[in-house]
Each structure stands twice: as C-alpha cells, then as structure tokens.
Amino acid sequence: MAEKPGRNDPCPCGSGKKYKQCCRTIPGIPFSEEEALGDLLISSKEFQAFYKAERNKVAGKVYWSRRHDLAAGIKGRSTTCPDGRQVIFLRRCPATLDDAMGVAHELEHLILNAEGFPSIGVRLDRHSGKPHPAIDYLASAVASAILDLVVNRRLQAYGFDLWEDYQGEVHDSMIQLRDPSSKSSDDLTVKKNVFNYASKILDWELAGGRSREVENRFMLWFNERYPTIAEEGGRVVGLVERMGYNNPGEVTALFGEIIRGYDLGKYGIVCGLPSKSGA
C-alpha cells in the first residue's frame, strides 16, 4: 500500500522533482501514470483500444492521485487546478479491471476540455472563497447530465458496457434517494434531483434500454415517489433531445437555455470553461 512521500523524496508522479516541489499541493497520494494504469493496459482490451487512440488528445501531463475521501458513489474525478495542472483522482489506485470504464471516462472529460466543450461553473462565496456546497452539487448535476452523455457515447464506440455501468449507477442513486436529506423541498435540492433523474433517463436510452425493450424500473420507482420531480425531469430530457449535444456550440446553447429556464443564475451558476467532473 503506497504511503504519502516525504517532502524531499522523489515525487512518485515521475516528474523527477522532489515531492515538495511537485505534487505536494495535490490532495491524496500521487502515482505515475504507468503505475496507475499498468494493470488496466494488460487486463482490459476496451481500455487498451481507448488509450491507444485517445490518450494523445489530452493536452499536457496528467497527474494521478489516490483519494479515499471522494463523495459517496464517486470512483473518480478529473479536475484542472488553478495553475493549469490536470489531475485525475481515483478512489482505487492503481486502477483495476473494474475501474476501466471509470478511468476512461475521466480521461475523456479532459479530452472534452481540450476540444473546447464548456461546463458549468459557480461563482465563489465572497466570504469563504469557495462555492456553497448545495449550489456546487446542483451545478455538478447539471454539468454531468449533459457532458456524461458526450463522454459515454464516445466510450461506447470502444466496446465499454454502458448497460452494466448504468445498472450500478441506478443502484447507487436509489440508495442515496432513500436518504431523508434527499427529500428536502428546498429549491436547490429539488432542482438537483430533477437533473439527476433526467440524467438517469438519458443514460438508460444511450445504454440501449429502449432498444432492449427493458422496463425502466428506476423510472417507475422514482415516478411513484417523486411524481412532480419526474415530470420536470422529463421536460429536461425533451430539451436535451431537441437541442442536441454533439459539439461545443450545441452544449453551450443547451447550458445557456438550462440556466435561463431554471433561473440558475440567481445562485451564481454560469456556463464557462471546463474545470471538473465526476463518475
């Protein structure tokens, strides 16, 4: 089990610098890309094909770090630091075969960044210098609902099993929705649940649920418990399908319409440059 290096130790990321001059400011335990992905490049033919074709599309170095404190249900997260460093945090690092799609997912988000796809940002609180957590969760739900579709459609071309991934996500969502805090009627929680629900329906369709003629048990379960949110989520699905998400221009227009239509600007939520994601 890797331990956090000492300040003057060589940085495990492979930069050749001392740890204090390199990854000390990045949370978690750093790994080189070779160590983080070595098992995947041997065990997953889908990841091998993806990595060979796509890795060089990520602009610049990617830093890898293991973090056990990622939010519940999140296996990985990509982010761009204020100094421009691109980091992928993984709950399990080195990654294993079970992580193949999740790691590819985070790398593909960095590719979207390089291609100019926008994301959703939040203006920082003037007192704390950080976004309000509830507002940040809502912004992440909106961004993920759209950008994860772009990413997963591309991963599908490399043979990744979106259906299996969808089943796992639905299971996690149902557990989270049983949490009493998810039933709050405040505007931020309701809108977050609207976009999370819409995301699951869009994921179901992309994974082939409709063509498989498989009953969407999550939709039925959710509709019974949260009919008003489900109805609004259905409108979001219709909006996404009408406007499309095939290129940066379409996604920019879609985010703009969502921000206006759901009055998200009052919370400081804006469409801007990509910064982070989660899977």
Q: Which of 71, 88, 98 is nearest to 27 (CA)?
A: 88
Max mean pLDDT among 126-135, 150-159, 174-183, 209-218 falls in: 150-159
The β-bridge partners of 79 are: 87, 276
Dist. CA 71–CA 179, nearest whole Å? 15
Give pLDDT tens digits for 57-108. Answer: 998 899 999 999 887 778 899 998 888 899 999 999 999 999 999 999 999 9
Helices first, then strands: H and E counts in the chain: 9, 6
β-bridge partners, 31: 64
For tokens 């329906």, what's the residue?
Answer: 201
The answer to whether residue 276 scores a pLDDT higher than 50 is no
Confidence at residue 126, expressed as pLDDT on a 0 to 100 scale? 76
DSSP H helical ranges for the chain: 33-43, 45-54, 100-115, 133-156, 162-177, 187-206, 217-225, 227-243, 248-261
In this prediction, what percent of the chain has a pLDDT beyond 70? 92
pLDDT tens-digit readout, 190-209: 999 999 999 999 999 999 87
Decide: helix, strand or coil at residue 212.
coil
Tokens 């796509």 belong to 54
pLDDT, tens digit (0-9, with 9 covering 90-100), for 108-158 = 999 999 999 999 989 877 777 778 889 999 999 999 999 999 999 999 999
Distance (Å, rounded) from C-alpha 243 to C-alpha 237?
10
Task: Dump pLDDT digits (tens) for 8-47.
Answer: 999 999 999 999 999 999 999 999 999 999 999 999 999 9
Supply the pLDDT for residue 272.
81
